[in-house]
Amino acid sequence: MIRAWYLALALLFVSAGTEAQGPGQASGGRSLTEIFETANVAASRGDHPGAISNYLELTEAGVHDPDVYFNLATSFAQSGDYARAILNYERTLTLRPNDDQASENLRDAEKALEEQRAEAEGEATIQRSSSISNAVYGGLSENTLAYALLAANLLFFLALAWASLGRQRNRWFYSQLIAAAVILLFSALGLGVKAGLLRDGPRAVTLDDQLILREGPDPRAQVRGEARSGDRGEIVDRDRDFVKLRLVSGLEGWTPASGVGLIDPDHGVH
Amino acid sequence: MRLLALAFVAMAALPWAATAAAEPEVTVTLDAAPSEARVGETIRLEVRVRARGGRIQDLKLDDLKKYPELEIISHQTVRPMQFSFGFGSGVQMESSLANVYMLQPTVAGTYEFAPAVARVDGRTYRSAPLTLVVRPGPGGIDGSSDLAEAPDATVGSELTGARYDARAFLRTVVEPDEVYIGQQVNVTVYLYTRLRLSPQSVVPSKPSMDGLWVHEDPITRLEFQTVPVRGTNYRAYVIQRSAAFPQRSGELTIGPPKVTFDVGGGSLFDAPQRIQRVGVPVTVNVEPLPQPGPANAVAGRYAIRAWLDRTTANTGDAVTLRVDATGLGNLQDLRIDLPPIVGVRALQPAIRDKQWSEHGKLSGTRSWEWILIAETPGEHTVPPIDLPFFDPDAEEYGSASTAALKFTASGAAKPSQQAIEPVDSRPKPRAATFGPIRMYSALTRGETPVRERGWFPWLLAFPPAMFILVMLGAGFARRREQRSATAGAVQRQLVRSAQNALEANDPRSFYDRIVASITHALDSRLGEAVGGLPHATLRTRLAAEGFDGDLVQRLINELEGADFARFAASGVSKDEMQRCLQRTAAIIERIQRSRRSA
């Protein structure tokens, strides 16, 4: 009976994995693969605007692939637009959290932006979001946590049923039960973090420098402060073409949506 | 003797009866001391009712609410009660009620009070009317607060910026209402009321001011001024005050203000009433600055000065250039671009503002601080900086400018760099620091996260649900097992004792055990006691439960045989008892294996 359940579970995971795979679909006469190759050729030749426009064509066609975001970020970085580079490296890391090269490039882009700003203004800081949850769950993808949750859930309740039915129990059994409970809690909390339960809105990166934050969703509303390019924050509200941005520092205000990029591609891409 | 006693009682009761039948003696008075006073002086107003032989029910002076100009400083209610004892007229009760108000008139005038009304034993009594005369205070002031700004006189004129209401209304005053772009507009919202409001309860809401840069002047204390409107005196409170600067030309609208406040609540018996008022929108006509004129001129009047923190420095060291622009107007509009200086690099300036209000006009100083880094040795000159402005009062353009400033850099020349970094310069690419692009991608489309897939919650809920089902099943089975184990033990005990009775050749006891054994088996199987049922009823009951007919017949036969044998046990042989025991064992086994049809 238990074997049958394992088999069913394995089949389910395999089918879930395969349904996510999708071959390149044609877009505007060219296949996605052709667009990707064209973009790569342009990037290799140093034609960053050409590369960016092709990569953006892919993302607008619905491709949300970590490698495409990585290349897009790298093209932005190489053309000096570090804010958009930061945004797309963040997207890469959201989709593939353990991408070391993307992490390294993200740090480089932040450093370059800081240097660029410090050179112009004497000093510079970029507001990054650094929380314990990011440190703990940063290297795990949401899907990994979801599968871990399912597996730990199954193991935990199996062990619990086994214990409750009064079968043979020993030290090994109890350590398994505790481990399953810990993994269950860890993955449930991690999934909640990844799903944004601890946030007030989707994560965002400021794209325009000295982005004015106002008291209301109107260009004539009073100024409350300004955000710098590359600053991280959350979108806590929307009104027509305006979003209410809450920076890591706590500063909050309305600003045109065009000046802000959403990190989670599911929420839409600028 | 009896007649004498009756006469005495009648004489004693006579005054009581007379008192009961008599009208109460009531006096209502309304007095003011003094009846003529100046604004700001204190007047003691007393309304009193005295009743002899009656019960005071009420005392009212309604006209007091008519005059908010007469501020009540204190209010005291006095209710002394007096009993008088008289041999001739019996016991008489005298009572009185007085309301004493300490009033402070705020506005000169004549205040007519209608008679105070008292109710005693259901009847109404009135005082004489009263007239209070209040003359202007010393120096001719009429009691108006000199702290609050006076709104326009409205006597006989059209009330602009307001929707009139006899009790309370809001008025928005815009001064001036025709301005140039960037010129200050003073927006003041007044609350006109004849009600005695509680200042702490006043909650104003800001009117919308689209197209205007607004500098709020917070109201820290609610002051009022008495203003006549359509022949009636109102208290006018300033509830909002702001300096607004139009940011575009055309007709700008200032939205309707709102306010809520409480009136009444001065005593336990006077519950406060929440009042809400909404004003009307007002418009401001904004014109562009007159042409021809400097393109970057701002409205206002400014003076400008500049200085360097030192005049000599080593090449590569920083010199601070500070420019202060001080004057009337909106500092947010001020922009200064530092002209390029050959051989000097200038960093982005730090900007600081300091603002204050002077005679209702917003003034202030905006300071710019540039860090200048001399990259070549020699004398460097900061060229004059111009700040063109348009003075709306004089309706003419002006300009403030600084003098040229010089400083000298000494020491070896630094490597040549861009002298002035253009504000909108594109940053230099840093291609070397970023890794190579990736030549392969699965080009996956946005896949639904696992947690959002339809099967995820079901799969997540499956183990706990199964666990609960398993636990329920196990519990049920355990309970059944326990019950059957107990029943089995009893059954075995009964059969053993029947065996013992057989060995002891005690037929009566034997058949007792046989009957008990069968009955117990039925009780356990059916979950209820059937021992007391007649055999016919038992047969019907077992048939209804779906027991096999043959089993029922055998069971009834065995019970009847055992009953018969119990009472005629002397003739039963041991062999017969042995057979009976075997039959009983077979019946019990069939009972335990049988299933109920339902």
B129/B146 Cα distance (integer angstroms) = 34
Domain B298-410 belongs to what topology?
Immunoglobulin-like (2.60.40)
A68/A54 Cα distance (integer angstroms) = 10
Q: Please state the rounded mean pLDDT for residues B476-489.
A: 78
Question: Quick check: A77 and B430 CB within 8 A?
Answer: yes
Share of chain B above pLDDT 70, in %: 84
Q: What is the pLDDT of residue A254?
A: 92
Confidence check: pLDDT of B490 > 60: yes
Chain B residue at shortest CA distance from A94? B449
> Per residue in B332-352, pLDDT tens?
788 888 888 888 888 777 778
Question: Quick check: B433 and A108 CB within 8 A?
Answer: yes
Question: Quick check: B449 and A161 CB within 8 A?
Answer: no
Query: What are the structure tokens assigned to A37, written together?
Result: 């190759």
Question: Quick check: B463 and A149 CB within 8 A?
Answer: no
Query: What are the structure tokens assigned to B382, written together?
Result: 């900061």
The closest CB to that of B470, out of A20, A161, A195, belongs to A161
Q: Return averaged pLDDT per consecutive 10 residues of chain A, 270 residues in all.
A: 46 41 51 87 85 90 89 91 92 87 89 81 67 74 87 88 73 83 89 80 88 87 86 88 88 90 64
Q: Please state the rounded mean pLDDT for residues B494-508.
A: 85
A67/A99 Cα distance (integer angstroms) = 10
Beta-carbon count within 10 A of A250 CB: 8
Q: Please state the rounded mean pLDDT for residues B478-506.
A: 81
Q: Which of B210, B424, B445 to mutate to test the interface with A (most CBs of A within 10 A)?
A: B445
B437/B111 Cα distance (integer angstroms) = 91
The closest CB to that of A74, out of B434, B445, B446, belongs to B434
Q: Which residues pair with B380 in a beta bridge?
A: B407
Size of interface A-B (CB pairs under 8 A): 141
B118-to-B24, B78, B98 alpha-carbon distances in Å: 13, 15, 11
Q: Answer for the pair B366, B353: CB distance below 8 angstroms, yes or no.
A: yes
| SS3 sequence of chain A | CHHHHHHHHHHHHHHHHHHHCCCCCEECCEEHHHHHHHHHHHHHCCCHHHHHHHHHHHHHCCECCHHHHHHHHHHHHHCCCHHHHHHHHHHHHHHCCCCHHHHHHHHHHHHHHHHHHHHHHCCCCCCCCCCHHHHHHCCCCHHHHHHHHHHHHHHHHHHHHHHHCCCCCCHHHHHHHHHHHHHHHHHHHHHHHHCCCCCCCCEEEECCCCEEEECCCCCCCCEEEEECCCCEEEEEEEECCEEEEEECCCCEEEEEHHHEEECCHHHCCC
Query: What are the structure tokens assigned to B303, written together?
Result: 């003076």
Chain B residue at shortest CA distance from A184? B460
Report helix, strand and coil shares of chain B as percent, to nearest 5.
25, 40, 35
What residues of B are in contact with residue A70 (Cβ under 8 Å)?
Answer: 437-438
Q: What residue has token string 């300071």?
A: B367
**Dihedral angle at the C-alpha atoms of B11, B17, B18, B21, nearest 10 degrees?**
-170
Confidence check: pLDDT of B17 > 50: no
Q: What residue has token string 């326990």?
A: B482
Question: Quick check: B347 and A120 CB within 8 A?
Answer: yes
B479/B492 Cα distance (integer angstroms) = 20
Q: Are strands B396-401 and B386-391 parallel, antiparallel or unpaired?
A: antiparallel
Which residues, at least 6 apart from B313, have a Cβ–Cβ distance to it below 8 Å?
B319, B374, B407, B408, B409, B410
> Whole-prediction pTM value?
0.40
Q: How far is A254 from chain B (nearest CA, A)?
A: 15
Domains of chain B by residue range: 2-140, 168-287, 298-410, 482-593
B173/B162 Cα distance (integer angstroms) = 9
Q: What are phi and psi of B6, to 5 degrees?
A: -60, -40
Q: How far is CA A233 from the centre of its chain?
A: 13
Q: What is the pLDDT of residue B416?
A: 46
> Per residue in B509-541, pLDDT tens?
888 888 888 888 888 888 788 878 888 888 888
Q: Which residues pair with B131 in a beta bridge?
A: B112
The pLDDT mean for chain B works out to 79
Question: Quick check: B446 and A105 CB within 8 A?
Answer: no
The closest CB to that of A64, out of B371, B444, B463, belongs to B444
Question: Quick check: A101 and B459 CB within 8 A?
Answer: no
Q: Are strands B361-374 and B117-120 parallel, antiparallel or unpaired?
A: unpaired
Q: What residue has token string 């809105």?
A: A201
Q: What is the pLDDT of residue A111?
A: 86
> Per residue in B101-144, pLDDT tens?
888 777 778 888 989 999 888 888 989 899 988 887 654 444 44
B496/A153 Cα distance (integer angstroms) = 52
Confidence check: pLDDT of B148 > 70: no
The kind and range of the H/E element at B234 are: strand B232-246
Q: What is the pLDDT of residue B75?
A: 77
Question: Quick check: B430 and A154 CB within 8 A?
Answer: no
Confidence bin at B433 (pLDDT 50/70/90): low
Q: Please state the rounded mean pLDDT for residues B358-373.
A: 85
What residues of A are in contact with residue B460 (Cβ under 8 Å)?
Answer: 149-150, 153
What residues of A are in contact with residue B455 (Cβ under 8 Å)?
Answer: 12, 16
Chain A residue at shortest CA distance from B454? A16
Beta-carbon count within 10 A of B496 CB: 12
> Per residue in B280-331, pLDDT tens?
999 999 998 888 888 788 899 899 999 998 888 888 778 888 999 999 888 8
What residues of A are in contact with residue B440 (Cβ under 8 Å)?
Answer: 67
Single-letter amino acid, residue A76 = F
Q: What is the pLDDT of residue B22?
A: 59
> Per residue in B256-283, pLDDT tens?
999 988 876 655 555 677 888 899 999 9
The answer to whether the B168-287 and B298-410 domains have the same CATH topology is yes
What residues of A are in contact with residue B473 (Cβ under 8 Å)?
Answer: none
The closest CB to that of B443, out of A32, A121, A220, belongs to A32
Closest C-alpha among B432, A60, A53, A83 to residue A71: A53
Which string of DSSP letters, residue by residue, matches B497-521?
Answer: HHHHHHHTT-HHHHHHHHHHHHHHH
Q: What CATH number was assigned to the domain covering residues B168-287? A: 2.60.40
What residues of A are in contact with residue B459 (Cβ under 8 Å)?
Answer: 9, 12, 150
A108/A123 Cα distance (integer angstroms) = 17
User: Going by CATH, does the domain composed of B2-140 fall within 2.60.40?
Assistant: yes
Q: Answer for the pair B109, B123: CB distance below 8 angstroms, yes or no.
A: no
Q: Please state the rounded mean pLDDT for residues B379-390.
A: 89
A41/A22 Cα distance (integer angstroms) = 23
Q: What is the pLDDT of residue A68?
A: 92
Q: What CATH number was assigned to the domain covering residues B482-593? A: 1.20.120
Which residues, at least 6 apart from B321, have a Cβ–Cβ distance to it below 8 Å?
B306, B307, B308, B338, B346, B369, B370, B372, B382, B405
In the sheet with B178-180, reading across from the earlier edge strand, the strands are B178-180, B282-287, B250-254
Closest C-alpha among B300, B321, B301 to residue B310: B321
Question: Quick check: B470 and A165 CB within 8 A?
Answer: yes
Sign, CA torsion B478/B482/B483/B485 = positive
